[in-house]
Amino acid sequence: MPIVYHEEDSNISILQDKIVGILGYGSLGRPVALNLQDSGVKLQVGVHNLDRQAVALADGLPPLPIEQVVKNTDILLMLLPDEVMPQVYIEKISPYLHKAHTLIFASGYNIAFGFIEPPPFVDVGLIAPRTFGDAVRERYLSGEGFYSCVAAGQDASGHLWDTILALAKAIGSLRAGAVEVTIEQETELDLFMQQAILPAVHHVLTTAANLLLARGYPPEAAMMDLYISGELNDYLSRAAIHGLLHALQSSSLTAQFGTLSRLERFNESKMARLMEVTLDEIRNETFARDWAREYTGGYPRLQKLVRQQEKLDLWELEKQTIELLRGEED
Ligand SMILES: NC(=O)c1ccc[n+]([C@@H]2O[C@H](COP(=O)([O-])OP(=O)(O)OC[C@H]3O[C@@H](n4cnc5c(N)ncnc54)[C@H](OP(=O)(O)O)[C@@H]3O)[C@@H](O)[C@H]2O)c1
């Protein structure tokens, strides 16, 4: 049975004498830094790009070169893009690591696939938020918190869990809860969501939109009904709190009959097989090798795939619908 940690499981005061280094000030780095700053944690931020340096400075966090932050701090939060991180680690982080360092990752990717192999004398842990960076900040400020996966890689000091839980509390995750997993499990689950669930959802919604448009439904009405109204989010939010079956049973009897009587129709054995193949490719490192090649080559396939998607007529209709419904501010 996995362990779930909450605020009472953590002692934030152990961070009092420590300086935390934030390496990377992007989608997750900035929200995490702001949350830690508001929790009273002493920080230094390593930022390489001039625009982001200005943002960090405006946030009251004077940016420093990454090497400097590694030298000055005790705990390093590794908040660089996963595909970029191994090179930055070799050039700017590993030469300056010492015995008292703790490396905390927000994704197990580089450790699980062996792209980064920290020396045995440092602690290695994981706090991987299960939401977007923006929500990490918003839910800290609202007091709601956010779920995360936490894992211990190597515990050289014997105090790794104290550090992980203190940081998870200071970031705001333990107000919701953190689930203990292994670094490999976190990595595989995260990639599985990205590679099996999101493509299926994308495919279902675009297929449905194209069908409805081909059958002459007004584009704005069709796009709104499918996902722009937020009804689907509300359904999933209810499922997240009370369960998938409860969400279904909270719907009208017409909806329940319609869903359950047609469920079997979508019970494609091919889909289960595709999910299995996708998971196998993640676990046997086929995807990690593909992605490393893609990064080294300058993302040629990713760029081509994005261009193909951008050409779909649907996005113009989606844009018009959003503008029509939400007005100019979005
Ligand atoms: N974003 C999320 O919602 C989220 C959620 C859970 C976990 N994570 C994990 O958090 C980590 C960070 O992801 P992210 O989404 O925050 O990445 P990101 O938005 O792309 O930002 C990464 C930061 O690293 C900097 N950077 C890029 N290349 C660099 C280089 N060569 N040298 C030094 N700095 C460099 C970026 O600067 P510039 O781009 O400005 O140059 C930026 O400040 C990843 O491990 C990811 O898996 C992210």
Q: What average pLDDT does the chain have?
A: 95
Tell me the mean pLDDT in the region 149-171. Answer: 97
Task: State yes or no: pLDDT of 290 exceeds 70.
Answer: yes
pLDDT more than 70, % of the chain: 99
Task: State yes or no: pLDDT of 100 exceeds 90.
Answer: no
Tell me the mean pLDDT in the region 99-118. Answer: 97
Q: For 243, list phi and psi in degrees, rounded to 5.
A: 110, 155
Question: Ramachandran region of residue 144, left (φ > 0), alpha (ψ -120 to 50) or beta?
Answer: alpha
Pocket test for ligand 1, best of 23, 30, 48, 57 (most atoms within 8 A of CB): 48
Task: State yes or no: pLDDT of 259 exceeds 60.
Answer: yes
pLDDT for residue 47: 93
Pocket test for ligand 1, best of 76, 77, 80, 88 (most atoms within 8 A of CB): 80
Tell me the mean pLDDT in the region 19-23. Answer: 98
Query: What is the SS3 assignment for 147?
Result: strand
Nearest to residue 136, comparing CAs of 147, 121, 126?
A: 147
Task: State yes or no: pLDDT of 257 exceeds 60.
Answer: yes
DSSP element (H, E) containing 76: strand 75-78
Domains of the chain: 4-181 (3.40.50.720), 187-326 (no CATH)
191 pairs with which residues across the strands? Answer: none
Pocket test for ligand 1, best of 52, 77, 79 (most atoms within 8 A of CB): 79
Give CA–CA dist 39/48, Å, rounded: 25
pLDDT more than 90, % of the chain: 93
Q: Who lines ligand 1 at CB under 6 A?
A: 24-29, 48-49, 52, 79-82, 84, 88, 106-107, 128-129, 132-133
pLDDT tens per residue, range 226-241: 999 999 999 999 999 9
DSSP element (H, E) containing 163: helix 160-171
Confidence of residue 15 (pLDDT cuts 50, 70, 90): very high
pLDDT tens per residue, range 139-150: 999 999 999 999
Indicate the burial class of 232 (C-beta count within 10 angstroms; 0-12, 13-18, 19 or more): middle
pLDDT tens per residue, range 35-45: 999 999 999 99
pLDDT tens per residue, range 261-289: 999 998 888 999 999 999 999 999 999 99
Give CA–CA dist 273/261, Å, rounded: 23
Confidence of residue 1 (pLDDT cuts 50, 70, 90): low
Q: For 238, list phi and psi in degrees, rounded to 5.
A: -65, -40
pLDDT for residue 216: 97
Task: State yes or no: pLDDT of 59 exceeds 60.
Answer: yes
C-alpha distances in Å from residue 193, one per residue of 17, 119, 130, 271:
38, 31, 11, 14
Task: State yes or no: pLDDT of 178 exceeds 90.
Answer: yes
Task: State yes or no: pLDDT of 27 exceeds 90.
Answer: yes
pLDDT for residue 330: 46
Give CA–CA dist 222/215, Å, rounded: 11
